[in-house]
Amino acid sequence: MRGCRLLFLMLFLNSISWGVFAQTDAPVTEQRAVELRGKVTAERAWWDLRRYDLKIEVDPGAKTIEGTNEITFVPLSPGRRLQIDLQAPLKIEWVKAGEKVLDFVREGNAYFVEFDKELNVGTPSSVVVKYGGQPIVAKNPPWSGGVSWQKDEKGNHFIATSCQGIGASVWWPNKDHGYDEPDQGMSIQVTVPEDLVAVSNGRLKERSHNQTNKTRTFLWEVTNPINNYGVNMNIGNYVNFSETFSGEGGDLDVDYWVLDHQRETAKKHFKEAPRTLRAFEHWFGQYPFYEDSYKLVVVPYLGMEHQSSVTYGNGFKNGYRGRDLSATGVGLKFDFIIVHESGHEWFGNNISMKDAADMWIHESFTNYSENLFVEYHFTEKEAQDYVIGCRKLVRNDLPIIGEYDVNGRGSSGDMYYKGGNMLHSIRHTIDDDKKWRSILRGLNKKFWHQTVGTQEIESYISKESGIDFGLFFDQYLRTTQIPVLEYQIDGNRLEYQYQNVVPGYAYPVRVRINGEVVSLKPTEQMQEMRRDEPIKTFVVDRNFFVNSKAR
């Protein structure tokens, strides 16, 4: 009898140590699931994220991930209930604070971890999360994300993560909301079969070979804050080559990770990368992550803006999968993926949105960066041809800014092409290229390694330009209306006014009258101008995203 009691006690203690009794599941409604994903809940708000230390083992054959993530944080206010996110079918097995196994409740993809008592404000704390399983398979990466379990042309495993929108919790447990980034960076340790290489963000600090179980482990270190969806894992038959870029911040290490059979092609084509860095340091200021280096990593999907680990799958072609989005010929002068995804190092990774509704901060500026690249390396006219040529892709189906607190975006397409043209119009409304460049550089300096909202970006541009662009942003970001300049010509008399605008919209626009450049200041009320000679031609400057209509 005593032996039975001892056996029971041992089994009980063992179950507690592995958290068997630590987890309970609570039902979750659709509305509650949306709130848990998109809102800064009370269980998120009381603690400030400081660091992640992620350690995982990947089994390509079983398509599984097993590992731990140590989450270091500092309480901002008294609290004892911590929200950690991980998407099914992955599961958290246990959570520990030191040697103490913590209880947790699961609501859908959110896990609420309970401490025994409230933690001290200002005192660093940490928990280790053990998890595993088969993660969601990416259906159409990077737009429908998850993990891509592919094979390359030679039959080798070729695996990658992509999680913008769906969330980083699709493959690792974290505080899955954009407003809070780990101030002290993170480490990513990945163990894979010995014939494969794992590439992640930051710098490769260690690699080791375990001959017992025929695996290799790669440890990557990120020193800067990093947004969750910018963290990535890439596994394949990679080889590496590198160069040094002499930039505004000194010498920047530039690394390229490509499949073995792509090496020679990549060495020629990836000359686009330093050209891109040169252009963007001119327009936006110093590359934001010198400490973590810059790298291009070949992946089995089109590409993504993973911080200091830009992923690439454009087939070593210029354009977007070999085509010109602007239909002007200019888009074939550069590799769209290298330029666009690298532009996100400044807008998306350096300056990051607090809420997914403000995704335009990432995509509009980065879309606009494409024509700035063209202007830097080619001509101003070609740059204008490119950005204006992309207007045909504007849908005006939804406002660019989406609903807040629901992880929701507005018009996914218009935040690119409409947003880029909005910024192009702002530049020409300011009509001072030196000031405009200082604003772009100033944004990256002012909000260096920060998360921001739309209002902060709007206010900065208005203040630095000396023009209140509040209604301008309302027009292009919060409505689906494009301003219409309605006009009527009668001999030497011109009547004009704005239509299809938000109340109070009254921004200047350049036009050509009989070939002469004239600045008009339309309002919603009809205005009149008289010329000395009859008006024969009237054309709105194409650099203003304004439609015109004769009355």
- Looking at the DSSP bridge assignments, the partners of residue 42 are none
Q: How confident is the model at residue 21 (pLDDT cuts 50, 70, 90)?
A: very low
Spatial distance between the Cα atoms of 354 and 537, rounded to a whole number of angstroms: 47
Q: How confident is the model at residue 25 (pLDDT cuts 50, 70, 90)?
A: confident
At 411 the pLDDT is 76
At 26 the pLDDT is 74
| Model confidence at 2: pLDDT above 70 | no
Going from the C-alpha of 465 to that of each of 175, 183, 436, 498, the distances in angstroms are: 36, 31, 8, 23
Q: How confident is the model at residue 42 (pLDDT cuts 50, 70, 90)?
A: very high
At 135 the pLDDT is 98
Spatial distance between the Cα atoms of 35 and 87, rounded to a whole number of angstroms: 15
Crossing angle, helix 454-465 and helix 414-430, to 10 degrees?
20
In a 3-state reduction of DSSP, which class is residue 7?
helix
Task: Describe the strand order of the beta sheet including 100-101 as a list of residue ranges.
Answer: 100-101, 91-97, 125-133, 64-75, 47-59, 186-193, 215-222, 203-210
Task: Give helix then strand counts, H and E, for the chain.
Answer: 12, 30
In 3D space, the residue among 492, 481, 496 whose CA is nearest the CA of residue 550 turns out to be 496
Residues in contact with 546: Cβ distance below 8 Å, sequence separation at least 6, in sequence order: 425, 482, 483, 484, 485, 509, 540
Q: Is 356 in contact with 408 (CB distance < 8 Å)?
A: yes
Spatial distance between the Cα atoms of 136 and 170, rounded to a whole number of angstroms: 7
Crossing angle, helix 272-284 and helix 336-343, to 10 degrees?
40
| Model confidence at 475: pLDDT above 90 | yes
| CA angle in degrees (0–180, nearest 5) for 509-514-517 | 35
Spatial distance between the Cα atoms of 536 and 434, rounded to a whole number of angstroms: 34
Domains of the chain: 22-236 (2.60.40.1730), 253-469 (1.10.390.10), 484-550 (2.60.40)
Spatial distance between the Cα atoms of 13 and 21, rounded to a whole number of angstroms: 10
Residues in contact with 6: Cβ distance below 8 Å, sequence separation at least 6, in sequence order: none
> Which amino acid makes up residue 293?
S
| Model confidence at 518: pLDDT above 80 | yes
| Model confidence at 485: pLDDT above 50 | yes
| Range 289-318 average pLDDT | 98
At 1 the pLDDT is 40
Region of 146 (left: φ > 0; alpha: ψ -120 to 50; beta: rest) is: left
In 3D space, the residue among 192, 189, 195, 182 whose CA is nearest the CA of residue 225 turns out to be 182
Spatial distance between the Cα atoms of 451 and 80, rounded to a whole number of angstroms: 25
At 97 the pLDDT is 98
| Range 431-445 average pLDDT | 98
Sign for the CA dihedral angle at 54, 55, 58, 62 comes to negative
| Model confidence at 13: pLDDT above 80 | no
In a 3-state reduction of DSSP, which class is residue 278?
helix
Tens digit of each residue's pLDDT (9 = 90 or more) over 88-131 = 999 999 999 999 999 999 999 999 999 999 999 999 999 999 99
* pTM for the structure as a whole: 0.94
| Model confidence at 191: pLDDT above 90 | yes
Average pLDDT, the chain: 95
- Give the phi and the psi of residue 368 in degrees, each rounded to 5: -65, -30
Tokens 């192009």 correspond to what residue? 424
Q: What is the maximum span of the chain, computed from C-alpha positions, in angstroms?
A: 114
| Range 230-245 average pLDDT | 98
At 24 the pLDDT is 61
The distance of Cα 453 from the centroid of its chain, to the nearest Å, equals: 14
Tens digit of each residue's pLDDT (9 = 90 or more) over 360-379 = 999 999 999 999 999 999 99
CB burial of 294-330 (b: ≥16 within 10 Å; e: otherwise) equals: bbbbbbbbbbbbbbbbbbbbbebebbbeeebbbebeb
| Model confidence at 380: pLDDT above 50 | yes
